[in-house]
């Protein structure tokens, strides 16, 4: 008889169906109104041929080939857990002694696990912090530029991370919703920490029924679901700031701006107004000016500005919009637009970044912290913005400017990475690998032979969530989910906590790391901490034993509709923002004082080096957008059937307008080479009228598969667009990812189609073969 086990993942809560020692199926959580199809991939991912069965060490590392080694191009040697642990104890102690604590990078950026105890990054950084410290990363790839900017402008990151104005408030009050980057349905399938209820799609449907008019300002019509009946404005990528400035020009020149609101709630409107009117630089940011840049008719821009001034309007932008050169500028300009409309802090109005970027943004909930593992202090004050890892490895001892600081880059000798994949998230993968190979030792803890595991020295097999007990919890979700172990560990896989505890023992601090708690004791401890926090807010929750038996807790929706900045709107003096002025900073003295020409004290239009209006477009005439996939989460589940079913001949799809396809003699299903000066990959053409001419789009997350393993200049045969994207910071202010500023050319691939091998283990030499 099958066993049914409650569990959770980033793409939803579910019940695992177990037969013997195998996961044979999943059932959607009964309380989820819109469960995603992605959970169908879980069993085949857990039992994938790409699982790491035992510990491995790169052959060259064992032979003394460390810095400069061709990682990814050598065989791995299987070793015992005892040997791997002892060698890592010795190597970690050596690196700390010879090069200092900052010479160890504690990576682990990524979604890792929905479970809060076995969350890989938390476990790794606790281990490294208690061992003396490490160089860490701040911000993120998702909205790193924006999360650096918004505290200067609005006093916090609530406008990105939440709580934000609820969809219920939009349903009740909004008449017009301006959606820069659209409201993609696929992004609403996932929630960091797991989702008990996918409410994003049902709430949008309620907004349509309430009469909200949606405008999709995006190069891709598919960024707005057909049921939204959205007006499509097919803007040229990277020009959103120009579009917004032209709207501001109409408001300022036609007396439509809410001057009373701006006088009491904002500072710097005079400077921003002078800029859009052309008094600052002699260039009036008229709709006609913007039309030449955006390729959107001036009449469309002007009429939209007038409509927004005449009715309650919510402005939103996807997180992806700021992942471009000068990505801070469109978001800052949009805050200016929302302020000029007088809507920030009013029901159903204002500004939010991310309604279309993740489930849970704007869903009704009580603002409770998630269940979490207690953090540990990092004794080393050494960090970089997360998207600058290649520069960190390339330029030891040099200065990186970021957000008004001059950061001296440490000399990294050892990388620890657990539960993430930089060869998915990062840009210009060939350049990353060249920098990656400068280090002496790379340690990766992973369940699968992902690209980061294939480019490591030590590969330690970790359990998946189904092979351990945990608690699924997200601050954006109303459910806390018990995650019962469903199956025994596959092969020699172990929990991250146990792996690090054994290494910590060899280094002399096991008891401090574990606090003498096992898995069960930690789960009870974490739950009780969360339960006490809930009680302080007047929310009673069951005992741990009751929660574990029931499988979940549901927190009821609050009766009141939450509106972001509501108290500030009602009385800006009594409820000021956490900015120097206490108000919305349309001009920031702080940012202006940094002296960055590309990011002065107010939002400005700055041309990117790579967009369709740049000189480089004559050589590479297509703008490549890389988006989050609907068939997996980043690179997770790439080995499973939902992702495989969407590929063509095993290659990732690339969307292309029929005009561009016809000019190259291409039809749907053709395998093509996509290339620029940074690299090349294969893809499979899907011709569609839903993407504007001159723009192509490809999902991220297909595991990087160089045709020549270990090469830093090899064709990716699978279709990872990050071999093409540019590795430059958005600006010195935000230093975020600029992946969306990318020009390419495409041609038919007529050669013999190289096999996709990345879903199988890499070459292995047994120990006796290695010794010989």
- For the chain, the farthest-separated pair of C-alpha atoms sits apart, in whole angstroms, at 83
For residues 495 and 488, give the distance between their C-alpha atoms in angstroms, rounded to a whole number. 11
Strand residues in 447-517 grouped as ranges (E): 458-461, 470-473, 479-483
User: Which of these is catalytic: 109, 269, 448, 449?
Assistant: 109
Exposure of 752 by Cβ count < 10 A (0-12 exposed, 13-18 middle, 19+ buried)?
A: exposed
In 3-state terms, the chain is what percent helix, strand and coil (to 5)? 35, 20, 45
Write the CB contacts of 683 (distance below 8 Å, at least 6 apart in sequence).
Answer: 651, 652, 653, 654, 671, 672, 674, 698, 719, 746
Q: Please count the residues of the chain.
A: 772
Buried b (16+ CB within 10 A) or exposed e, 231-268: ebbbbbbbbbbbbbbbbbbbbbbeebbbeebbeebbbb
For residue 508, give the DSSP letter.
Answer: T
Radius of gyration, CA atoms only, the chain: 26
Write the CB contacts of 512 (distance below 8 Å, at least 6 apart in sequence).
Answer: 130, 504
Known catalytic membership, residue 111:
yes
CA separation, residue 235 to residues 217, 286, 309, 488, 751 (Å): 6, 16, 21, 51, 36
Contact 696, 742 (CB under 8 A): no
User: Which of these is catalytic: 61, 111, 134, 611?
Assistant: 111
Helix or strand (DSSP H, E) at 676: strand 671-676
Strand partners, 446: 461
For residues 29 and 353, give the distance between their C-alpha atoms in angstroms, rounded to a whole number. 28
Neighbours of 524 (CB within 10 A): 16
Write the CB contacts of 537 (distance below 8 Å, at least 6 apart in sequence).
Answer: 366, 368
Residue found under tokens 């040997």: 83
For residues 218 and 236, give the distance between their C-alpha atoms in angstroms, rounded to a whole number. 8
Known catalytic membership, residue 611:
no
Tokens of 534: 């809930």
Q: Residue 220 phi/psi, 5° resolution? A: -125, 120
Which DSSP string corresponds to 575-607?
Answer: S--SSTTSSEESB-HHHHHHT-TTS-SB-----
Write the CB contacts of 311 (distance below 8 Å, at least 6 apart in sequence).
Answer: 175, 176
Helix or strand (DSSP H, E) at 89: helix 81-99
Contact 472, 484 (CB under 8 A): no
92 SS3 class:
helix
Expressed in angstroms, the distance from the first to the final Cα of the chain is: 49
For residues 268 and 574, give the distance between their C-alpha atoms in angstroms, rounded to a whole number. 21
Contact 137, 274 (CB under 8 A): no
To the nearest 10 degrees (0 to 180), the angle between helices 120-130 and 496-507 is: 10
504 SS3 class:
helix
CA 43: distance to chain centroid?
24
Which DSSP string corresponds to 531-571?
Answer: HHHHHHTT-----HHHHHHH-EEEPPPPSSPP-TTHHHHH-
What residues are labeled active site? 109, 111
């Amino acid at each position: 008889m099958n066993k049914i086990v409650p569990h959770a993942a980033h793409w939803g809560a579910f019940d695992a169906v177990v037969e013997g020692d195998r996961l044979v199926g999943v059932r959607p959580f009964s309380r989820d109104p819109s469960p995603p199809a992605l959970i169908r991939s879980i069993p085949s991912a857990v039992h994938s041929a790409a699982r790491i069965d035992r510990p491995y060490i790169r052959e060259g590392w064992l032979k003394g080939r460390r810095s400069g080694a061709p990682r990814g191009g050598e065989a791995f040697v299987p070793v015992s857990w005892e040997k791997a642990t002892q060698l890592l104890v010795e190597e970690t102690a050596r690196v700390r002694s010879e090069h200092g604590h900052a010479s160890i990078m504690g990576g682990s950026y990524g979604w890792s696990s929905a479970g809060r105890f076995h969350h890989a990054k938390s476990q790794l950084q606790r281990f490294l912090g208690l061992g003396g410290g490490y160089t860490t990363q701040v911000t993120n790839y998702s909205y790193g530029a924006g999360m650096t900017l918004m505290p200067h402008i609005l006093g916090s990151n609530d406008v990105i991370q939440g709580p934000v104005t609820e969809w219920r408030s939009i349903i009740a009050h909004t008449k017009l919703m301006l959606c820069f980057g659209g409201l993609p349905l696929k992004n609403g399938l996932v929630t960091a920490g797991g989702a008990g209820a996918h409410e994003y799609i049902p709430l949008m449907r309620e907004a349509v029924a309430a009469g909200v008019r949606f405008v999709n300002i995006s190069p891709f019509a598919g960024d707005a679901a057909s049921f939204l009946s959205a007006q499509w404005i097919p803007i040229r990528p990277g020009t959103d700031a120009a579009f917004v400035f032209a709207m501001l020009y109409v408001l300022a020149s036609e007396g439509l701006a809410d001057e009373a609101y701006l006088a009491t709630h904002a500072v710097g409107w005079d400077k921003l107004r002078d800029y859009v009117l052309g008094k600052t630089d002699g260039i009036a940011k008229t709709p006609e000016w913007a039309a030449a840049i955006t390729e959107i008719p001036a009449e469309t821009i002007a009429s939209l500005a007038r409509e927004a001034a005449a009715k309650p309007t919510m402005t939103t932008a996807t997180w992806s919009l700021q992942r471009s050169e000068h990505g801070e500028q469109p978001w800052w300009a949009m805050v200016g637009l929302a302020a000029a409309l007088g809507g920030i802090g009013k029901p159903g109005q204002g500004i939010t970044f991310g309604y279309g970027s993740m489930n849970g943004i704007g869903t009704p909930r009580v603002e409770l912290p998630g269940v979490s593992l207690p953090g540990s202090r990092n004794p080393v004050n050494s960090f970089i913005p997360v998207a600058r890892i290649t520069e960190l490895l390339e330029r030891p001892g040099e200065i990186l400017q970021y957000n008004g600081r001059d950061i001296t880059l440490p000399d990294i000798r050892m990388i620890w990475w657990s539960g993430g994949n930089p060869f998915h998230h990062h840009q210009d993968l060939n350049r990353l690998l060249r920098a990656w190979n400068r280090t002496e030792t790379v340690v990766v803890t992973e369940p699968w032979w992902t690209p980061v595991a294939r480019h490591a020295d030590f590969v330690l097999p970790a359990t998946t969530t189904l092979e351990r007990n945990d608690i699924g919890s997200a601050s954006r979700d109303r459910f806390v989910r018990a995650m019962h172990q469903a199956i025994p560990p596959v092969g020699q896989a172990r929990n991250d906590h146990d792996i690090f505890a054994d290494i910590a023992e060899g280094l002399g601090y096991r008891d401090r790391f574990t606090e003498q708690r096992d898995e069960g004791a930690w789960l009870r401890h974490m739950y009780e901490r969360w339960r006490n926090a809930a009680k302080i807010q007047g929310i009673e929750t069951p005992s741990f034993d009751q929660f574990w038996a029931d499988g979940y807790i549901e927190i009821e929706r609050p009766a009141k509709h939450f509106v972001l900045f509501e108290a500030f709107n009602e009385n800006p003096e009594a409820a000021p923002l956490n900015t120097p002025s206490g108000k919305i900073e349309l001009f920031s003295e702080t940012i202006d004082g940094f002296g960055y020409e590309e990011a002065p004290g107010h939002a400005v239009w700055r041309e990117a080096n790579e967009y369709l209006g740049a000189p480089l477009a004559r050589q590479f005439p297509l703008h490549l957008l890389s988006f989050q996939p609907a068939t997996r989460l980043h690179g997770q589940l790439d080995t499973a059937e939902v992702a495989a079913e969407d590929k063509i001949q095993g290659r990732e799809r690339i969307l292309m307008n029929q005009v561009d396809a016809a000019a190259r003699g291409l039809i749907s299903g053709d395998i093509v080479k996509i290339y620029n000066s940074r690299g090349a990959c294969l893809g499979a053409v899907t011709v569609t009228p839903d993407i504007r001419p001159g723009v192509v789009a490809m999902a991220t997350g297909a595991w990087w598969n160089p045709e020549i393993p270990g090469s830093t200049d090899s064709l990716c045969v699978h279709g990872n667009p990050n071999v093409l994207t540019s590795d430059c910071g958005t600006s010195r202010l935000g230093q975020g990812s600029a992946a969306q500023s990318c020009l390419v050319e495409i041609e038919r691939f007529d050669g013999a189609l190289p096999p996709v091998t990345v879903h199988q283990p890499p070459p292995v030499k047994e120990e006796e073969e290695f010794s010989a």
